Chain A
Amino acid sequence: MMKTKSDSQQQVPSQADLSRRSLVKGLALMFGGLLPASSLALAAQGYQGQADTLNRAGHLLSAKQLTLLKRLVDLIIPATDTPSAGALDVHGFIDNQLKHCFDKNSQNLFIAGLDKLERICRQMNGQAFSEVNTDAQVALLVAAEAGGKPCNVDDKAFFYQLKTLTLLGYYTSEVGATEELSYLAIPGGYRGDVPFAQVGKAWSLN
């Protein structure tokens, strides 16, 4: 388990780093075989992204709610040169997380928040959230985030929860942590004077 992707060790190339890398490699050989096998068992239980959750109910959310949630997480983290949150099944992750890590009250608040957003959209535009154009969707989320009309403080609290869970789901996924951001499982030591350009992207673990 101590082995790391060799390419992820190459993000901070410098002379000092080369020796550090060989040090890490040596230590990994020294200790690697002694790491707990049971962590593999833990690993197997990790939430696995689903290829397509559309038209399929989640643990907690209905198929319709999941579809709405997928659009919402895509608006928060859209595709760039890396996939969007929806493409990484962050909506499925949120459904799973809500089911297992939140109490009933928080679950109900989240579901109520989703449903209310849909309701406001219909009142405003006469159409479902999925049917209005991106500008209208974004405008509604801007209002929700600010808690301004046609939204209120409840929607603001819901959006905050949604955003927090979206960030968690995206940046703790393998793609989010290691491709969108920089990642070193075993940094090999701390260096306090690294130019940002040398790392290139923010660390996924600070």
Chain B
Amino acid sequence: MTTNIDNIPSSEIYDVIIVGSGITGGWAAKEFCEKGLKTLMVERGRPVEHRKDYIGEGVKTWQQPYRGKVAQNLVETQHHVQQQCYAFNDSTKHFFNNDQDYPYSTSEGTKFSWIRGNQLGGKSLLWHRQSYRWSDLDFEANSKDGFGTEWPIRYKDLEPWYDYVETHVGISGSKEGIPQLPDSQFIEAFEFNSVEKRIKENLEKIYDDRKLIMGRCAHLTKPAEHHVKQGRGPCMARNECQKGCSFGAYFSTQSSTLPAAQKTDNLTVATNSIVHSVIYDEKSKRATGVRVIDCETMATREYYGKIVFLCASTLGTTQIMLNSVSKTFPNGIANSSGVLGHYLTDHCYNAGATADIPGFEDEYYSGRRPTSLYIPRFQNILDKNPKFLRGYAFSGEAYREPWWEFNNKPGFGVDFKNNIKQGGGWKFRVHASGEMLPRYENSVKLHATKKDKWGIPQLHFNCGYSENEKSMMEHAAQSAAEMFKALGFKNIHAYTKDDPMGLVIHEMGTARMGLDPETSVLNGNNQCHDVANLFVTDGACMASSAWQNPSLTYMALTARACDFAVKELKAGRL
């Protein structure tokens, strides 16, 4: 399937070119190929084959050179940014990019940690798989408080597309009827452990504004027939997902959308092909293709298509657009509004709490659940908090202290060893997942002089969390501590921290949707206001971040935009 790039005749005009092969690129490929369009997927990184290239999978800790840690010289020379990611370790490091090859800069006094997976499948191999719908609380937030521009769509526009992608992906979860977190098309939820069950009961008795539910995730707890037909099997609860999963139990490009696209014979994949820019034709006012630099040979070439879908990740897409300059668009393609690169958001996870749960020494669990519990947002829904706008959810779990937490416990010797063996005490922990306000000043632009090794201008970041996020995190730490106290937990430790933007890896917003072409890049169909056959369906399109993990919404938006584009093409408008 991965066609040798030199054999692709450059004169061929594809029906559609998709830039990127992660969660949204994979979805676009599946949708277009299944609708009969000749599709070229362009990926800047190397090919990664399902199963065969999961080289960290199944390797036991004692078989690893440094028991899971990555050698210091490798971290320093190649992964000084990527190593900040929670999922970066010896078994996953090959799915994170080499920082030496992908430099970027930040304004003085600011930080941004840009975590990237440049390979076929992109970050779909590495994602945390949490999958939540948005509601109108989120789509109406911008117009209600004035931050960001009004969303051109509402929940009802996305609802059927959520249904559609969820059925294919397989979202495990429970029906709850929570207005601010609509139910998905679920397969069976993961189990609570017995301690969590009691906590849920108590919490929901004490608070009538919140619920403790099982985290919704893209894992096949009980695969349906159509999942098995994709070549996927049930989740084994190893919780080592980012190494790659040969069971195909979690959704990724490799496990799910790529095989579906390949089945059609309509897909060509060009790997190691870095898109330099989108080609714009002044006469027809259309994008006609992409300019590519070969990652390995530095050779340049062009590919042509009737439609171009940018799915290269929020910042990857933005970099390509900013670098696509023409007479009409001297500041980046489809950027007549000037907002391209602005309104960058991430989520804010900078608060949480831990505590001891007395008792339950006789109870335990089996398997490593790849999802945690979830307390959906409960602030600023009916009430109005005077300290901050919008809100946050909590993720958390109850677990018995494993051996690696015993370095914080006093003692050593026989009793210490036996205490570890007997299973530590029960603990509960949560962290907040907060919405970040869209703000013009949080932005990226092309650096005036610095370039990467392929001669592409580097991105320069100027961004940070604002007072609203900081107040929200203080509130989250306090409310977690109060909750833990009410639940009878001991040794409660609530915290806030100061992690830089980027580390949640939910960057969005730099080519936002909007109603007004003068203040937004995309319309409600992910179509550029300025260039009708150019679409952006990755996180760059988001007019606000909401508080939920965003990938499921990207999938729904992508499938919806593909449907729209095909209809427009057939109607002769593209």
A contact set with B: CB distance below 8 Å: 1-2, 12, 23-24, 27, 30-31, 34-36, 38-39, 42-47, 75-78, 80, 93, 96-97, 100-103, 138, 141, 145-146, 160, 163-164, 167-169, 171-174, 177, 180-181, 184-199, 201-206
Cα distance, A204 to B412, chains bound together (Å) = 18
Contact A167 B403 (CB under 8 A): yes
Contact B366 A194 (CB under 8 A): yes
Q: A35-B246, A75-B413 are in contact. Are A189 and B66 (CB under 8 A)?
A: no
| 25 sampled A-B residue pairs with Cβ under 8 A | A12-B366, A36-B58, A39-B59, A43-B59, A43-B63, A44-B63, A46-B63, A76-B412, A77-B417, A101-B66, A101-B70, A101-B71, A172-B61, A185-B58, A186-B238, A187-B367, A188-B236, A189-B367, A196-B362, A196-B363, A201-B422, A203-B402, A204-B403, A206-B368, A206-B399
Partner among A97, A174, A189 whose Cβ is within 8 Å of the Cβ of B60: A174
Please name all residues of chain B whose beta carbon is closer than 8 Å to the beta carbon of A96 when the two chains form the complex.
66
B350 CB, min distance to chain A CBs, angstroms? 24
Q: A160-B407, A202-B420 are in contact. Are A80 and B414 (CB under 8 A)?
A: yes
Cα distance, A169 to B234, chains bound together (Å) = 33
Query: What are the 3 closest A-B residue pairs judged by CB atoms, nearest first?
Result: A187-B367, A192-B193, A43-B63
Cα distance, A101 to B418, chains bound together (Å) = 29
Interface check B416, CB cutoff 8 A: yes
Interface check B157, CB cutoff 8 A: no
Contact B361 A196 (CB under 8 A): yes
Interface check B207, CB cutoff 8 A: no
Interface check B369, CB cutoff 8 A: yes
Cα distance, A1 to B362, chains bound together (Å) = 34
Interface check B500, CB cutoff 8 A: no
B546 CB, min distance to chain A CBs, angstroms? 28
Cα distance, A75 to B418, chains bound together (Å) = 14
Please name all residues of chain B whose beta carbon is closer than 8 Å to the beta carbon of A80 when the two chains form the complex.
414, 417-418
Interface check B67, CB cutoff 8 A: yes
Q: A1-B57, A78-B417, A100-B72 are in contact. Are A189 and B237 (CB under 8 A)?
A: yes
Contact B424 A42 (CB under 8 A): no
Contact B367 A97 (CB under 8 A): no
Please name all residues of chain B whose beta carbon is closer than 8 Å to the beta carbon of A190 when the two chains form the complex.
190-191, 237, 365-369
Contact with A along B359-384 (1 / 0, CB 8 A): 00111111111000000000000000
> Residue on A with the closest CB to B190?
A190
Cα distance, A195 to B234, chains bound together (Å) = 24
> Residue on A with the closest CB to B248?
A31
> Residue on B with the closest CB to A46?
B63
Contact B54 A36 (CB under 8 A): yes
Contact A46 B62 (CB under 8 A): yes
Contact B368 A164 (CB under 8 A): no
Please name all residues of chain B whose beta carbon is closer than 8 Å to the beta carbon of A45 when the two chains form the complex.
64-65
Interface check B68, CB cutoff 8 A: yes
B373 CB, min distance to chain A CBs, angstroms? 11
Q: A160-B407, A163-B407, A189-B236 are in contact. Are A97 and B66 (CB under 8 A)?
A: yes
A113 CB, min distance to chain B CBs, angstroms? 15
Q: A31-B51, A192-B196 are in contact. Are A42 and B403 (CB under 8 A)?
A: no
Contact A42 B196 (CB under 8 A): no
> Residue on A with the closest CB to B406?
A167
Please name all residues of chain B whose beta carbon is closer than 8 Å to the beta carbon of A187 when the two chains form the complex.
236-238, 366-368
Interface check B404, CB cutoff 8 A: yes
Number of contacts between A and B (CB, 8 Å)?
209
> Residue on A with the closest CB to B76?
A103
> Residue on A with the closest CB to B361?
A196
Pick from A38, A76, A96, A187 the residue with the most CB of B within 10 Å: A187
Please name all residues of chain A whose beta carbon is closer than 8 Å to the beta carbon of B54 when the two chains form the complex.
35-36, 39
Cα distance, A199 to B62, chains bound together (Å) = 22
Please name all residues of chain B whose beta carbon is closer than 8 Å to the beta carbon of A43 when the two chains form the complex.
59-60, 63-64
Contact A202 B423 (CB under 8 A): yes
Please name all residues of chain A whose beta carbon is closer than 8 Å to the beta carbon of B466 when the two chains form the complex.
none
Cα distance, A145 to B407, chains bound together (Å) = 11
Interface check B56, CB cutoff 8 A: yes
Please name all residues of chain B whose beta carbon is closer than 8 Å to the beta carbon of A195 when the two chains form the complex.
362-364
Cα distance, A206 to B424, chains bound together (Å) = 11
> Residue on B with the closest CB to A14?
B366
Contact A172 B68 (CB under 8 A): yes
> Residue on B with the closest CB to A191?
B366
Q: A163-B407, A167-B406, A195-B362 are in contact. Are A206 and B69 (CB under 8 A)?
A: no
Contact A192 B412 (CB under 8 A): no
Contact B56 A42 (CB under 8 A): yes
Cα distance, A23 to B235, chains bound together (Å) = 11
Q: Contacts A2-B246, A47-B67, A163-B407 given; 9 further ones with Cβ under 8 A?
A: A31-B233, A43-B64, A78-B413, A97-B69, A102-B72, A188-B367, A190-B369, A201-B421, A201-B422
Q: A101-B70, A167-B406 are in contact. Are A172 and B55 (CB under 8 A)?
A: no
Please name all residues of chain B whose beta carbon is closer than 8 Å to the beta carbon of A100 when the two chains form the complex.
65-66, 71-73
> Residue on A with the closest CB to B249?
A27
Contact B421 A181 (CB under 8 A): yes
Contact A34 B246 (CB under 8 A): yes
Contact B421 A174 (CB under 8 A): no
Interface check B144, CB cutoff 8 A: no
Pick from B51, B416, B423 the residue with the most CB of A within 10 Å: B423
Cα distance, A181 to B347, chains bound together (Å) = 38
Contact B365 A191 (CB under 8 A): yes
Interface check B102, CB cutoff 8 A: no
Q: A167-B407, A185-B60, A195-B364 are in contact. Are A206 and B412 (CB under 8 A)?
A: no
Contact A199 B412 (CB under 8 A): no
Interface check B247, CB cutoff 8 A: yes
A184 CB, min distance to chain B CBs, angstroms? 7
Cα distance, A194 to B365, chains bound together (Å) = 5
Please name all residues of chain B whose beta carbon is closer than 8 Å to the beta carbon of A203 when the two chains form the complex.
402
Q: A39-B55, A171-B403, A184-B367 are in contact. Are A197 and B412 (CB under 8 A)?
A: no
Contact A196 B407 (CB under 8 A): no
B46 CB, min distance to chain A CBs, angstroms? 14
Contact B62 A173 (CB under 8 A): yes
